[in-house]
Amino acid sequence: MALIVQKYGGTSVANPERIKAVVSRVAKYKRDGHDVVVVVSAMSGETNKLISLAEEMMPHPDNRELDVIVSSGEQVTSGLTALGLINEGFKAKSYAGHQIKIKTDKAYSKARILKIDDEKIHDDLKNDYVVVVAGFQGVDNDGNITTLGRGGSDTTAVALAAALKADECQIYTDVDGIYTTDPRVVADARKLKSITFEEMLELASLGSKVLQTRSVECAGKFKVKLRVLSSFETDGEGTIITFEEDEKMENPVISGIAFNRDEAEVNILGVPDTPGIAYQILGPVADANIDVDMIIQNIGQDGATDFTFTVHKRDLKKTLDILNNQVKDHIKAREILSDENIAKLSIVGVGMRSHAGVASKMFRTLSEEGINISTISTSEIKISIILEEKALDAAVKSLHKAFELDKNISI
């Protein structure tokens, strides 16, 4: 039979009752003859509690110690899940990331997986164990516990599936698949039967909360068959994330609309229009381990230009401190401004490659709604814009209707 890796998110293991439901689902797969590796997140809200405890001891906790603290949430869940399986008569073992040697780099709180030692898991599977792994964590070459960043359990599951050559990696969440957009904003949002890895990667990176971006990258790189399902439903096929050459995939021009309310915009005005200026601005920001998203540089006039980029809202203060203290005077910029009352909206679809007029339709729709755009960024299969946060919901609804995403269009 098949080797399946299943990942259960925080809401799926929110309490002992929900963990018992997970155990029942895993038990069904075992009774059907499958080998199962289970990856679990911390119980819903637990990671935030642990961070709050750390901040009571130190306002800005040391990253190494913070990783030790927050990784304990997943370890509790993995142990409870293993206990539930043992209680149901199955052989089960739980492991923390360092026990099965999920090797990572040294970037605490944002570590990347370098290698997985799969020998111990394979031995357990041969002996008919269900292996339960604490997600979100690993260990560096010096034996320090590291964590993979928010949503890192997705990456743990996909990386394990790749290392074990699993037949399928199933991501169980509180939604029953990938939707054309957030159903909480657009009631007519439609669940997709399938979506390409390329589209899913764009949606994940642009604000869709269903899958962590790095997990989709990993799945695409190692050709891991990935499926998103709901842990709150007993039936349903969810959404399969597949490759573009799959003839059965849905083929609309636009597959989905992603958005992110957690963006903040930084504008550096009067920047010298000289080679290397982007590095002089973004280098110190990158050195502080701050992720930069959209980057726009205007056409220079009179030897000066304006430079705009976005960061996560939680990183805005740190970014401004770096720019004001290390960058502004050095590059002789005129002024640094910021705006937290913005949002990013993106339309995504591989069909954009072969269909003209997508951008004009998008901008015409927003214009008719009286919605102003401050920044635009494009790629082959996406168009992203920055707009006022208060206009976001109206923009998503109008674009969803304009591109007929509520209709079931397939080959």
pLDDT in tens, 197-246: 888 888 887 767 788 788 988 888 899 999 999 988 877 889 999 875 44
Q: What is the DSSP secondary structure assignment for residue 20, as one 8-state letter?
A: H
Alpha-carbon span 272 to 333, nearest angstrom: 7
Instruction: Report the candidate in 110, 133, 158 with the shortest Cα–Cα distance to residue 291.
Output: 110
Q: Which structure tokens are listed for 41?
A: 């997140």
CB-CB contact of 189 with 130 (8 Å): no
DSSP letters along 11-29, please? GGGSSHHHHHHHHHHHHHH
Is the pLDDT at 352 greater than 60? The verdict is yes
| Letter string b/e over residues 199-221, b meaning 16 or more CB atoms within 10 A of that residue's CB | bbbbbbbbbbebbbbbbbbbbbe
Model confidence at 250, in pLDDT bands (50, 70, 90)?
very low
Give the separation between CA 137 and CA 152, rounded to whole angstroms: 7
pLDDT at residue 410, as a whole number = 40
pLDDT digits (tens, 9 = 90+) for 261-274: 999 999 999 999 88
Q: How many residues does the chain have?
A: 411
Note the pLDDT of residue 285. 96
Q: Calculate the average pLDDT of the chain.
A: 92
More confident residue, 383 or 249: 383
At position 403, the amino acid (one-letter code) is F
Q: What is the number of other CB atoms lying within 10 angstroms of the CB of residue 396?
A: 21
| Pair of tokens at residue 141 | 């070459």
- Determine the Cα–Cα distance for residues 252 and 248; give it in Å rounded to an integer: 12
| Terminal C-alpha separation, the chain | 31
Contacts made by residues 155-158, CB under 8 angstroms, sequence distance 24+? 155/113, 155/212, 155/214, 155/215, 155/218, 156/7, 156/39, 156/97, 156/102, 156/113, 157/5, 157/6, 157/7, 157/39, 157/215, 158/5, 158/215, 158/216, 158/218, 158/219, 158/222, 158/224, 158/226
Number of Cβ within a 10 Å radius of residue 409: 14
Using one digit for the tens of pLDDT, what is the confidence trace for 115-164? 999 999 999 999 999 999 999 999 999 999 999 988 899 999 999 999 99
Residue 16 confidence (pLDDT) above 60: yes
Three-state SS at 153? helix
Between CA 292 and CA 289 the distance in angstroms is 10
393-406 mean pLDDT: 94
Contact 40/8 with Cβ under 8 angstroms?
yes
Going by the DSSP 8-state scheme, the letter that residue 174 receives in this structure is S
The tokens 């199933």 sit on which residue?
170
- How many C-beta atoms surround the C-beta of residue 234 within 10 A? 10
Strand spans (E) along 232-275: 239-242, 256-260, 263-272
Higher-confidence position of 110 and 87: 87
The amino acid occupying position 90 is: F
Q: Tokens 């962590």: give the residue.
A: 212
Give the pLDDT confidence score for residue 263 in this predicted structure.
Answer: 93
Structural domains of the chain ordered from first start: 3-249 (3.40.1160.10)
The residue written with tokens 């799926």 in the block is: 12
DSSP E strand boundaries for 208-262:
226-230, 239-242, 256-260
How many CB atoms within 10 Å of residue 410? 11
Question: What is the predicted pLDDT for the residue at 213?
Answer: 84
What pLDDT was estimated at residue 252? 65
What are the structure tokens assigned to 62, written together?
Answer: 């040391």
Residue 408 pLDDT greater than 70, yes or no: no
288-326 pLDDT, tens digit per residue, is 989 998 998 887 777 899 999 999 999 999 999 999 999
Which distant-in-sequence residues (6+ apart) come within 8 Å of 52 by Cβ? none
pTM, full prediction: 0.81
Q: What is the pLDDT of residue 80?
A: 98
Whether 277 and 271 have beta carbons less than 8 Å apart is answered as: yes
How far is it, in rounded angstroms, from Cα 45 to Cα 27? 26
The torsion angles phi and psi of 154, rounded to 5 degrees, stand at -60, -45
Q: Is the pLDDT of residue 171 over 50?
A: yes
Backbone angles phi, psi at 388, to 5 degrees: -65, 140
Angle CA 396–402–407, to nearest 5? 95
Under DSSP, the state recorded for 300 is P
